[in-house]
Amino acid sequence: MKKLAVLAALALAVTACSGSNAGSGVKQADGKVTIRWATWGSAEDVAFYKEFNDAFMKKHPNIVLKMESVPEYGDYHPKLLTQLTSKTAPDVFFVGDDNIGKFVSAGVLQPLNDQLAGPDSKSKPEDFFEGVYGGAKKDGQIYGMPNDVNPEVLWYDKKALQAAGITEDPATLHAAGQWTMAKYLDMNAKLKSAGKAGSIFWNWYGSTYSVINGFGGKVWDGGRFVATTDPKSRQALETLAKGYADKTFLSADVLPSGNGASTQFVKHKVGFYAGGRWLVDTVKKGGDPASYDIVPFPSETGAPMSGAVAASYLSINKESKAPKEAFTFLTEFVSKEGQLVRLKGGGAVPSVKGAEQIVLDGYPAHAQTFLDVRDTGFANYAEEVSVPGLTASINEHLMKVWSGKVAFEQGMTELQQLVESKLG
């Protein structure tokens, strides 16, 4: 009952679920088993799953898949928490990297190690990159498999850089081991002097923590939040705050809808845009795709560093009445073959080894960078995602600093206090 109380507390503000789990996981008279699985995304996003679903049901005629989607990411997890509390949750479901920790802590996910290592597994744990498990792994036990990832890289606009008098190419500098934080910040300053923005960031851990890493700082150390106290981390955060203040950096979260991040980038008004492979579609539709390429976040010394990787996980409801069929779906969904089918034409990067051809399709020129960041990167820190709402609270507070509503020194003191209060 304790785990249900935890979930109920997390879902206080959510209305009672209107869904039903009638027939879910139960063998019907015709011998078929219905497996409900849930995800988030627009109709266009979830359309990528249709081919996989159809192929899966043809291969497994005894399993009927019922996909349930929620359009908005922000609405998805509260609804799922409510469903878990009321025992109406799907058999299998996506969990975001900023939410996986609370699901693991609540004890509502089926541990997967034994099944993943078993003879029916199509997705062995060693087929995936250790860093992307994030909060889905606890005490050596896996509770969610990375279904795909989106490494955070810096897209850059060659025309914008050229207009600012920048002659060096970031990807070329990176290949030579000379892509340093100092070089990057100098380019941003030149872009600002030329009447352009230097970089656009979304206010999430991927961008913020990648900048901290680029300064040689730390976010967590031995279970302690040190981003406000580690000298290099604090320098990184202050650099961001000053950059937002003088408009060298722009926050995509608060740009007007008619002149948002994508619009400014494709109109050559900004030099760098931090994002994932999902930006491929944006720059191609912008009409000038040859102007764009990608590079990892820079490091203090120019040597490659570990970058942030946005991840989501596929987990099994511990209360599923058909755990065997649910695992069959999960293991094939995240397998190499499954990812080759469902990521075709999409904007994500495979989380499994052996499916790299999806990314290496010729665009952008340095597409290998997506894979390099994935192979050595990290999903959000387990210490952070294990605390319900902590990542969201950190982002919310940092936005007050970025927008100038809270002075930097005060903001750092309050941020440390906020994190420590949530850690208990």
- Same structural domain, 317 and 412: no
**Tens of pLDDT along 210-242?**
999 999 999 999 999 999 999 999 999 999 999
pLDDT band at 140 (very low <50, low <70, confident <90, very high): very high
Q: Strand, coil or helix: what is 150? A: strand
Ranges assigned E (strand) in 176-248: 197-201, 220-221, 224-225
Percent of the chain with pLDDT over 90: 84
Q: What is the pLDDT of residue 423?
A: 92
Q: What is the pLDDT of residue 29?
A: 54
Instruction: State residue 248 phi and psi, 5-degree precision.
Output: -65, -40
Residue 201: give the domain boundaries.
153-307+389-423
CA geometry: angle 184, 186, 188, nearest 5 deg: 70
Which DSSP string corresponds to 92-124? Answer: EEEEETTTHHHHHHHT-B---HHHHHSTT-SS-
CB-CB contact of 336 with 353 (8 Å)? yes
- Same structural domain, 409 and 267: yes
CB-CB contact of 197 with 157 (8 Å)? no
CB-CB contact of 358 with 367 (8 Å)? no
User: Residue 315 is inside which H or E element, if any?
Assistant: strand 309-316
Q: Strand, coil or helix: what is 317? A: strand
Q: How far apart are CA 207 and CA 200, in angstroms?
A: 10
Percent of the chain with pLDDT over 70: 93
Q: How far apart are CA 402 and CA 243, in angstroms?
A: 9
Q: How far does the chain reach from its first CA to its final CA, in angstroms?
A: 22
Paired sense of beta strands 309-316 and 92-96, if any: antiparallel
- Same structural domain, 239 and 270: yes
Residue 243 belongs to some domain of the structure: yes
Say yes or no to pLDDT of 16 above 50.
no
Site of tokens 């087929």 = 127
Query: Tell me, what DSSP letter sits at residue 14?
Result: S
Query: Tell me, what DSSP letter sits at residue 405?
Result: S
- Same structural domain, 130 and 9: yes
Q: What is the pLDDT of residue 27?
A: 63
Q: How far apart are CA 313 and CA 76, in angstroms?
A: 14
- Same structural domain, 65 and 189: no
Helix, strand and coil percent figures for the chain, each rounded to 5: 45, 20, 35
Q: How far apart are CA 39 and CA 127, in angstroms?
A: 23
Tokens representing residue 294 in the block: 């990608």
98-127 burial, b at 16+ Cβ within 10 Å, e below that, comes to: bbbbbbbbbebbbebeebbeeeebbbeeeb
Paired sense of beta strands 309-316 and 249-251, if any: unpaired
**Tens of pLDDT along 383-399?**
898 888 899 999 999 99
Residue 378 belongs to some domain of the structure: no
How far is C-alpha 328 from the chain's CA centre? Answer: 25
12 or 322: whose pLDDT is higher? 322
- Same structural domain, 108 and 178: no
Q: Which of 369, 397, 415 is the last residue of a domain?
A: 369
User: For residue 117, which amino acid is it?
Assistant: A
**CATH at residue 103:** 3.40.190.10
- Same structural domain, 303 and 320: no
**Tens of pLDDT along 77-102?**
999 999 999 999 999 999 999 899 88
Say yes or no to pLDDT of 4 above 60.
no
- Same structural domain, 51 and 182: no
Residue 91 belongs to some domain of the structure: yes
Describe the crossing of helices 2-10 and 73-85 by its angle, rounded to 10 degrees: 150
- Same structural domain, 229 and 173: yes
- Same structural domain, 330 and 238: no
Q: What is the pLDDT of residue 31?
A: 79
Residue 56 belongs to some domain of the structure: yes
- Same structural domain, 131 and 163: no
User: For residue 210, which amino acid is it?
Assistant: S
How many domains is the chain partitioned into structurally? 2
Q: How far apart are CA 81 and CA 88, in angstroms?
A: 10
Residue 405 belongs to some domain of the structure: yes
- Same structural domain, 139 and 185: no
